[in-house]
C-alpha cells in the first residue's frame, strides 16, 4: 500500500511538472530561449546557477537548525528536499503561496509532527519578513528618490508592502511567543468546518487540535529559551536573500 502511494505521488509530480512546462512553453519559442541562454556569458550563467543551489542550501540549513533545536533532527538530504519543494511549488502557484503548505505536507508525510513543521516554517517566514524589511529600508535610505520621487503609486505600494510585512512579522512573533493566542482561531475554524460538514467528528478534531497546540507550545518554548537559534536563522536567511537578489544582478550582467 505504501509503495503504491509513492508511485501515485511520483506520477502526480510528473504530471504536474509536464503541465507546468506545457504552460511555460506554450507561447514561448524554445529556439529564442536557447538563443538567449547561449548568449549569456558562461561565467555569469554558471554563477547564477550556483547561486540558486546556494539559495536552496541556505533554506535547508535553516530547517535543520530549527528542527534540531526543537528535538527533531533531520538529514541534510531531507532538508534540501523540503527547500526544493518550497522553491518549486512557490514558482508554479499564484503569489508563491503553494510552497509552505507543500512543505508542511511532505514534512508531515516524513514523520515530522505538524506542530514542529509549523513552528519551523513560521520561524523561517518570520526571518524572511524581517530580512525583506531590512533590505527595503536599506534601499530606501540609499535611493529615496526612487520610491518617493518617481511615482505616487510606487510610494503607496512600497508603504503598503512595508506595513503588511510589519503586520505579518508581529503576528509571527505572537504565534511563537504567545501560542495561546491562536487557540481561539483554531477552534473557531473547526466549528465552522463542522457546521459546513467538512468535519464529521468535531470532538475528535478538537482533541487533535489541542494536542497539536500543546506540541506547538513546547516547540515555541524551545525558541524562547534558545535565542541563538533565532539569531542563526536570521543571519542565514539574510545571506539567502542576498544570494537571491544577486541572481538578478548576474542575469543582468550576463
Domain boundaries, the chain: 41-253
pLDDT confidence bin for 6, thresholds 50/70/90: low
Take residue 56 and report the three cell numbers written for it. Answer: 536552496
The secondary structure of 135-186 as a DSSP string is: HHHHHHHH-HHHHHTS-HHHHHHHHHHHHHHHHHHHHHHHHHH-GGGGHHHH
Is the Cα torsion angle 160, 161, 162, 167 positive or negative in sign?
positive
Most confident of 37-51, 69-83, 87-101, 132-146: 69-83
In the DSSP assignment, the letter for residue 40 is S
What is the per-residue pLDDT for 243?
Answer: 92
- Give the separation between CA 65 and CA 120, rounded to whole angstroms: 9
Amino acid at each position: 500500500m505504501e509503495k503504491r502511494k509513492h508511485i501515485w505521488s511520483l506520477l502526480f509530480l510528473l504530471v504536474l511538472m509536464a503541465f507546468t512546462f506545457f504552460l511555460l512553453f506554450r507561447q514561448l519559442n524554445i529556439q529564442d530561449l536557447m538563443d538567449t541562454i547561449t548568449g549569456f556569458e558562461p561565467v555569469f550563467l554558471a554563477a547564477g546557477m550556483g547561486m540558486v543551489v546556494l539559495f536552496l542550501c541556505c533554506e535547508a540549513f535553516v530547517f535543520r537548525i530549527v528542527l534540531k533545536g526543537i528535538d527533531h533532527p533531520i538529514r541534510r538530504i531531507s532538508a534540501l528536499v523540503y527547500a526544493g519543494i518550497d522553491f518549486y511549488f512557490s514558482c508554479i502557484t499564484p503569489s508563491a503561496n503553494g510552497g509552505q503548505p507543500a512543505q508542511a505536507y511532505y514534512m508531515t508525510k516524513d514523520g515530522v509532527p505538524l506542530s514542529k513543521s509549523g513552528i519551523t516554517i513560521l520561524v523561517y517566514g518570520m526571518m524572511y519578513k524581517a530580512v525583506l524589511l531590512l533590505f527595503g529600508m536599506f534601499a530606501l535610505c540609499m535611493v529615496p528618490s526612487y520610491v518617493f520621487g518617481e511615482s505616487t503609486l510606487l510610494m503607496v505600494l512600497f508603504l503598503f508592502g512595508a506595513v503588511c510585512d510589519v503586520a505579518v512579522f508581529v503576528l509571527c512573533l505572537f504565534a511563537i511567543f504567545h501560542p495561546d493566542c491562536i487557540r481561539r482561531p483554531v477552534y473557531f475554524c473547526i466549528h465552522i468546518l463542522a457546521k459546513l460538514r467538512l468535519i464529521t467528528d468535531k470532538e475528535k478534531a478538537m482533541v487533535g487540535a489541542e494536542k497539536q497546540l500543546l506540541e506547538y507550545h513546547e516547540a515555541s518554548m524551545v525558541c524562547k529559551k534558545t535565542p541563538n537559534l533565532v539569531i542563526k536563522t536570521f543571519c542565514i536567511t539574510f545571506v539567502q536573500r542576498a544570494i537571491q537578489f544577486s541572481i538578478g544582478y548576474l542575469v543582468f550582467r550576463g
